[in-house]
A and B are shown apart, each in its own frame.
Chain A
Amino acid sequence: DTEVTQTPKHLVMGMTNKKSLKCEQHMGHRAMYWYKQKAKKPPELMFVYSYEKLSINESVPSRFSPECPNSSLLNLHLHALQPEDSALYLCASSQFAPLEQYFGPGTRLTVT
């Protein structure tokens, strides 16, 4: 099973709302990633978790708060977002060997 699942598929939220994105994998991968992708652009790395610890935060605003409750689950908590945060949010996971990252289908986020 090489599947990464993400929920919800679509999310519309106001600028004062609090919501969460969820990502799950059952491949035993110990590294998990959050990416943001704007239209017609490549994914931009936001956060990296290794063995449930945050190892990379690519200068992401504090209105995005990641959480890794266990080795299979990754959350992204959203609060007070701006319209420019509207994008496709992708989760990925990888193992040390092989090195490729497996991506989920993404959550299409619209901030109104």
Chain B
Amino acid sequence: AQSVTQLGSHVSVSEGALVLLRCNYSSSVPPYLFWYVQYPNQGLQLLLKYTTGATLVKGINGFEAEFKKSETSFHLTKPSAHMSDAAEYFCAVLGSYSGAGSYQLTFGKGTKLSVIP
């Protein structure tokens, strides 16, 4: 079974500082990993994904994540935080096959990012 652990339910950074959100996964098969962002009272938006190939993945809004198999990690980073980055971030791993091309996602508990002016 697949699982995801997000370290830190709340992270605060100053505007312009490095953003680092941590995600560790457990998977019995090569993992497919995702980061989603959720702004207040909105749905989830895909930031980036890792499937196969290059381990450094670039996403939208200047975010990137590095897949490290040896550390079972997929941490999300952004060099310089902006006020608009304040949101909830979810790491997810592709889980069980539900049939006919559908898969279940296993989410971490989420990390709330606050950006201090």
* Partner-B contacts on A (CB < 8 A): 4, 6, 30-31, 33, 40-43, 45, 48-51, 53, 55-56, 88, 90, 92, 94-96, 98-106, 108
Instruction: Provide the bound-state CA to CA distance between A49 and B100, in Å.
Output: 9
Q: Check A48/B41 contact, CB under 8 A, given A99-B32, A102-B46.
A: no
Instruction: Provide the bound-state CA to CA distance between A90 and B101, in Å.
Output: 20
Q: Is B102 an interface residue (CB 8 A)?
A: yes
Task: Give chain A nearest CB distance to B10 CB in angstroms.
Answer: 10
Q: How large is the interface on B (under 10, 10 to 19, 20 to 34, 35 or more residues)?
A: 20 to 34
Interchain CB contact under 8 A, A42 and B46: no
Q: Check A53/B42 contact, CB under 8 A, given A42-B90, A100-B34.
A: no
* Partner-A contacts on B (CB < 8 A): 32, 34, 36, 41-46, 49, 51, 90, 94, 98-105, 107-110, 112
Main secondary structure of the interface of A (DSSP, over half): strand
Residue in chain A with minimal CB distance to B49: A100
Interchain CB contact under 8 A, B43 and A104: yes
